[in-house]
Structure 1
Amino acid sequence: MSGGGGGAADSRVETISRLAQWRIESLGPCSYRRSEPFRLGIWNWYLSVEKSRSVCIRLFPEPGRVAKDQPPLARFILRVTCPGPPRRSCASPVQEQLLRTSDDFVWQVDVMSHGRFTIDVEFLDLRVATNNATESSSSIWPNEGMVQRIASKSTLGCLSRLLTESIHTDVTINTTDGVLKAHKAILAACSPVFESMFVHDLKEKESSTIDISDMCLESCSALLGFIYGAIEPEQFWKHRLPLLAAANKYGIGDIKGCCEESLLEDINSSNVLERLHVAWLYQLERLKKGCLSYLFVFGKIYDVRDEIHSFFHHADRELMLEMFQEVLSVWKPI
């Protein structure tokens, strides 16, 4: 627990975590009291209490550059407690306000006597307001996000160990040139196709074996690495096309989307026709549009004149029609 600074004990505010507590020994019938500054978040704060016809409690940040440039948007509850006897207390509704000056928040209470009482301020959230309005950035207390990040990192570490150390594996994957071990539950969770294999009375369920005859060991290792969160960037980049084919075959949308995004990033004259065929084959509209734009909007069709004849010889007729329509849209007469 930390105090709000030196001076009389009656002005000191104690703080712990997100709670500030101001204990006042006495308050006359007509008087004003302001606390010493106390620190919570990135701001120094004051509490004040004024008693005349009614009792008014104010909460406000210390004037200065921080409060001006980064005004706090606070969500908080105030409680006033008189020890008694009898012990009496009251609490404010949950407040959410932009606080700049002592006039921004005033709470009138009638529970206090002339004796001792305690004011508690519990900050539920603190944000930095933007645009001089109630819009705000993220919380200055990102504990929830931190917990989620740590939990996610821990989970990925555990999944990675399950794969790399073959901990309690229960399914064998046969590739074209080797064997891998994995876990039915994890495969089923990421792919409806794998799930169906293990739910219905298929050979994969009976033998605990999956034959992936269209992937080599290295590409399948990349697939499992992606599923278990253990893939390296270089491994993903090298095996994008086999991963895309597997993602399409086994219904793994995250891998398919990631591959499309990656293939969009490095289109060039040496790969644009192959990428266009891939986009058509796996119904990747963004990749297809990117390839067509590269060829016709940016005029790179002239760079692939030697390859285009062979491409047209094997291309699907509907794809050729789309290419022709793209030519018309780009070269339409003015």
Structure 2
Amino acid sequence: MADCISKVETTTRLVQLRVDSLGTGCYRRSDPFKIGLWNWHILIEKKASLIVRLYPEHCRKEPSPIATFTVRILVRGSDGQRVESKGLIVSDKLLRSSSDDFMWPLEYSVAYGRFLVEIEFHDLKVASSHSGDPHSIWTGEEYLQSRAEVGIARCLSRMLEEGLHTDVTICSATGCVGAHRAILAARSPVFDSMFSHNLMEKQSATVRINDMCLESCRALLSFLYGNLKYPDFRKHRVALVRAAHKYDIVDLKEACESSLVDDIDGSNVLVRLHDAWLYQLKDLKRECLRYLLEFGKVHDLRNEFDAFLQDVDKDLVVELVQEQIKLLKIHGL
């Protein structure tokens, strides 16, 4: 039967979901509730058995949690008092956005009629950005650091969006936007050099980026300030990888390259290969060559490929020929 959303009651670490009735073949899904850094759902199903599931909502900003918790089914006894009918302790369980990561089947008789599902979180961990080892989000130095980083991110976002005390103007091909020299210099050695020497950019407090539109330029600044939204990143990633190469922004360049590798197909492979050559994107170049040569897609793009060879740098043509010869030798042709 169709999913029915059920409200939950929460404290800092305790969650209760009330189920008044649940027929065979039905399920109940809770409203999202916030515990730690994540929004969560509880899903109750009645199939061959009663099944309790717990999972966080998908979020690109936060890593998947490693949870330690107790889950209980509470029913009312003959005296009207709540009693624990069944309980389960779960330790250091990695929970992603899939509802299959935690699944607890019970017999029907455990929860006949009205019952409560109670989950008490004892700890939530994420992998450390420094050592890779899991650390609790609720205790210790890492938690303090994470909260400080959240506050800094909010401040930087406000500085950019509200133009607080800007001291440099970025002029794109279609408009201008204010920024802060210190942040640009800290994120890019090229910007740092501009403002450290007696160059035009330092004297005029203006940086001209004539090969980007204003919208792409804002996306670039949003990344440098740490608040670029993923849809904007996807929309402007080609312009961003060009800027990342030009201004030596290594982390942005890596992010763009990884994203461009993810969706190579026949409609974009030749453009991607050319960009990989121009901006020294080794992984992207390798995957484009594999797509064209190892998978034989160059034959499907014969006309486009011929036109491509007429326009690109001759060194790239030589490399393509060398890769083709290498492939023929591997296959003994």
Tell me the residue number matched to 1:271. Answer: 268
Tell me the residue number matched to 1:210. Answer: 207
Structure label with greater radius of gyration: 1
| 2:143 partner letter | M
Distance across 1 between alignment mates of 2:135 and 2:253: 34
Distance across 2 between alignment mates of 1:229 and 1:235: 13
Give the deviation of 1:331 after TM superposition. 2.3
Tell me the residue number matched to 1:281. Answer: 278
Distance across 1 between alignment mates of 2:196 and 2:268: 40
Tell me the residue number matched to 1:74. Answer: none
Give the deviation of 1:154 after TM superposition. 1.1
* SS of residue paired to 1:211: strand
Q: Does 1:309 align with 2:306?
A: yes
Distance across 2 between alignment mates of 1:152 and 1:266: 32
Q: Does 1:252 align with 2:249?
A: yes
Tell me the residue number matched to 1:221. Answer: 218
Distance across 2 between alignment mates of 1:176 and 1:321: 35
Residue 319 (structure 1) aligned to one of 312, 316, 322: 316
Question: Percent identity among equivalent residues?
Answer: 50
Q: Does 1:241 align with 2:249?
A: no
Q: Does 1:163 align with 2:160?
A: yes
Number of aligned residue pairs: give it: 210
Output the TM-score relative to the length of structure 1.
0.58
Distance 1:167 1:319, change over 3 A: same
Q: Does 1:181 align with 2:178?
A: yes
Distance across 1 between alignment mates of 2:135 and 2:205: 48
* SS of residue paired to 1:328: helix
Structure 2 unaligned regions, length at least 5: 1-67, 70-87, 93-132
Distance 1:247 1:149, change over 3 A: same
Give the deviation of 1:155 after TM superposition. 0.8
| 2:203 partner letter | E
RMSD across aligned C-alpha pairs, in angstroms? 2.7
Distance 1:330 1:144, change over 3 A: same
* SS of residue paired to 2:166: coil
Q: Does 1:295 align with 2:292?
A: yes
Give the deviation of 1:303 after TM superposition. 2.1
Q: Conserved in 1, the CA contact under 8 Å of 2:219 and 2:228?
A: yes
* SS of residue paired to 1:201: coil
* SS of residue paired to 2:300: helix
Give the deviation of 1:176 after TM superposition. 0.9
Give the deviation of 1:241 after TM superposition. 1.0
* SS of residue paired to 1:239: helix
Output the TM-score relative to the length of structure 2.
0.58
Distance across 2 between alignment mates of 1:217 and 1:280: 26
